[in-house]
Amino acid sequence: QEDKEKPYLRLTLLDPFTSRGVFGTGYGDQYFGSSVDYAEQYLNTDDPVPTTNEPLPLCACIDVTGAPERNAFELPPNESMHCWPLVYFARYGSSNSAGKLLLHGKDGNPLRGTVTK
C-alpha cells in the first residue's frame, strides 16, 4: 500500500478554556497543539473566565490584551472581555495568514511556547 501524505493540520485557539472539567487542570497545557503542524493561541489575560489567561506551551501565543485596536472595541451587552480574542482574530488575525501553510520556526513564524504582544 502506498504511503499517503499526511494532511496539514492547523489549530487556532481563541482564548480557550484549558481545563477538562473540575479535576482536569493542566489538560490544555499538555494537549492543546500536540497533534498539529501549527498551533496558535489568541489570548487576553484580563477576562474573568477561569483557565483562559495563560499562554499554552505547545502553541505560538498572540497576546492581544494590550493591542491598540482594543481601544476602539465596544464590548457587546452582557459580554466580558473573553470575547476580545475572537473579535481580534476575525478583524485582524485571520487576514494575515489565511490560506497559508504555517510551520513553527519557518519563514519567520514563531516557535511553540513563544508569546508575541
8-64 per-position pLDDT tens digit: 999 999 999 999 988 888 999 999 999 999 999 999 999 999 999 999 999 999 999
Report the chain's mean pLDDT, rounded to a whole number. 92
CB 53 within 8 A of CB 45: yes
* Mean pLDDT value across residues 56-77: 96
- Tell the burial category of 68 from Cβ atoms under 10 Å away from its Cβ (0-12, 13-18, 19+): exposed
DSSP β-bridge partners for residue 41: 13, 61
- Residues paired with 113 in a beta bridge: none
Number of C-beta neighbours around residue 84 at 10 A: 24
Largest Cα–Cα distance in the chain?
A: 56
**CA gap 48, 24 in Å, rounded:** 19
